[in-house]
Structure 1
């Protein structure tokens, strides 16, 4: 349950125990990104009628607005692998309903030499007929993507190849889940900024930019923006800087790639464009305190692209400065709200969540409803 401090205590004394006569929402979800919209959909599937509040437009703010949405099975945190598998299956189902949200060109994960044995063990243990994963060598890599640098092509080190991995469009995914949630009975308000929330007996009072809402339960699913309303222990804001490139001579890579050695990653875009990330990140208590030199980040991403790819002719065409809520162990911060008068958490996805957030939302909704996910 939320604990009021400072001036919130004086506010609390002014609030009537039954919400001051206002109508009361059962569940309010703060945040309409991929997390909040998929959670709204999952709750609506179970008969709840949540109210989703988004300060911008669905998928238009926070991490969702700038995420490249790479989807893969492997993670160096074993506890996320099962969630990733569920997430891949769910995104495949979404693609049937809304073609174009999930694209699967495959992904190479190039480990550091010290991690090679872990990658090989992962391929042995986790590969399935429905979702294969294998280690491959330099000559095979060359056949998959001719634009990769010569050091990949000549390398004797094994890399992990997931042919059915790829990427989602997080904004389109958020819009899909929000539309489905509304179709099932949820409510949605865009352009609604929550500036404060505090408990009052058996409910929570939310102050917005235009008025007040009362709710029995509140779920903060607003990524790093959660930190403007609460400061959960271990949660902090971290920048994520990506850059769009175009290359009229060499072209664009056809697959996704993550390189542990350089810390760079690449994702195809549309036609000749592609995205590169890996620039040095900054941390802060709240997003507003992040101090990032976008030009320097773009230059770092350019250097990474030319280290990973066999090109010197690419040029940056757009900068994508974003951020997310991180935890030190990269595990999400999930907390169910009390039955009445409290706030829960569905955040802390640490820049890795697009692949499994909808699957975790289903588990969260099942737990909230007293069922099994």
Structure 2
């Protein structure tokens, strides 16, 4: 049964980190007649499973600049958002072997060109922070002293609270059934699962893989798929202390310390992606994945006295063909896209909010270091995928 029509300026579909960051950024710019609709509870989808790594190590200048803005927001979150977001500025290091050294240095130059604080360091320097680490197969690391890790759930909830304080309304357990169309095919609002119709000047899809079926009736084929990502938490058997987050681009893994002292270990080998239904997938790591992760860790940390697996889990990336997001107009009037974050969403979220607000209100990026054209939806049809010019062997598209 349909219910009465409500009119707002902006409806944001998706109450995860990106949707909430966009709501906050719009409210910061004075657009407060905004409603966020979340199908379940806030930050319960991909946000809840994020590894929450903060790094600017990209081979695309716009991405590096976006991540650098994120660092500034995370460092000043209590002032900007009024809450602790769990940011730990322990540093971040990306390590490569001999063959990837030229690409590492080229990417460092790109990052420095947009202001990122990054330096090349030796493997022995990194071993000072990770004493039991084997480093003989590394040639060099790119080190960001202001990188680290955070908590995506706390960050999303901080955006939500700050947005609410500025007048944004957020509704949980409110799935969107369809996008409403008006004259000329323009999107004019949404209809919820309960039959309520909400009219809006703009609808923003920020709901990851769940955006695909909503866009399909508009003849929009969004190239977004859910890719399962598995995580292992390991007790090293020794006191490790504070150490930088590491992207091991030799063994194709990443690891960081949890506040508990456990080591979170993820996979950087995406040669054979596993695409799944985001509502129905195995949420624990497979035995074969755990075995491979343990073998890689045994190689990297042969000095750990008594390591053991504590637990595992699995989440989903919302991936695009080039593993980079779509941020901008959809090509259908009234519909804006912020989808396909491909594992980069946490670190980019503050800049996604700012860029989206800039595009919605001004039509252009407000930061000269961030080229909005990089993230346009039309790049796929035009054969203009967004990829680094200096890619790492074996690391696939995740860089």
Q: Same fold (TM over 0.5)?
A: yes
Matched, 1:273 2:262: yes
Q: Which residue of 2 aligns with 1:219?
A: 204
User: 2:187 and 2:234 mapped to 1: Cα distance?
Assistant: 49
User: 1:363 and 1:53 mapped to 2: Cα distance?
Assistant: 20
- 1:300-357 CA deviation, whole Å, 9 max, x = no partner? 33333333333362222222211121112222112236896x3221011110121112
Q: CA deviation at 1:127?
A: 4.3
Q: Cα distance 1:239–1:45, how it changes in 2: closer, same or farther (>3 A)?
A: same
Secondary structure of 1:86's counterpart equals helix
Q: CA deviation at 1:124?
A: 4.9
Matched, 1:320 2:302: no
Length-normalised TM-score, structure 1: 0.84
Alignment of 1:1-373 (within 5 A): 22-48=5-31, 49-61=33-45, 63-96=46-79, 97-124=82-109, 126-127=111-112, 132-148=117-133, 150=134, 152=135, 154-155=136-137, 157-201=139-183, 204-216=188-200, 217-230=202-215, 232-249=221-238, 251=240, 254-278=243-267, 282-284=273-275, 286-288=277-279, 294-296=285-287, 297-310=289-302, 311=304, 313-336=306-329, 342-370=334-362, 373=366
Q: Which residue of 2 aligns with 1:6?
A: none
Q: CA deviation at 1:106?
A: 0.8
* Segment of structure 1 superposing worse, 310-319 or 103-112: 310-319
Length-normalised TM-score, structure 2: 0.79
User: 1:132 and 1:262 mapped to 2: Cα distance?
Assistant: 25
Q: CA deviation at 1:229?
A: 2.2
User: 1:173 and 1:293 mapped to 2: Cα distance?
Assistant: 24
Q: CA deviation at 1:155?
A: 4.4
Q: CA deviation at 1:253?
A: 6.7
User: 2:307 and 2:140 mapped to 1: Cα distance?
Assistant: 27
Q: Cα distance 1:285–1:138, how it changes in 2: closer, same or farther (>3 A)?
A: closer
Secondary structure of 1:254's counterpart equals coil
Q: Cα distance 1:52–1:143, how it changes in 2: closer, same or farther (>3 A)?
A: same
User: 1:206 and 1:83 mapped to 2: Cα distance?
Assistant: 30
User: 2:276 and 2:85 mapped to 1: Cα distance?
Assistant: 36
Unaligned runs of 5+ in 2: 367-399
Q: Cα distance 1:366–1:223, how it changes in 2: closer, same or farther (>3 A)?
A: same
Tell me if structure 1 keeps the 8 A contact 2:58–2:111: no
User: 1:30 and 1:345 mapped to 2: Cα distance?
Assistant: 10
Q: CA deviation at 1:291?
A: 6.8
- 1:171-213 CA deviation, whole Å, 9 max, x = no partner? 1010001111111110001122223334133654533332322
Secondary structure of 2:338's counterpart equals strand
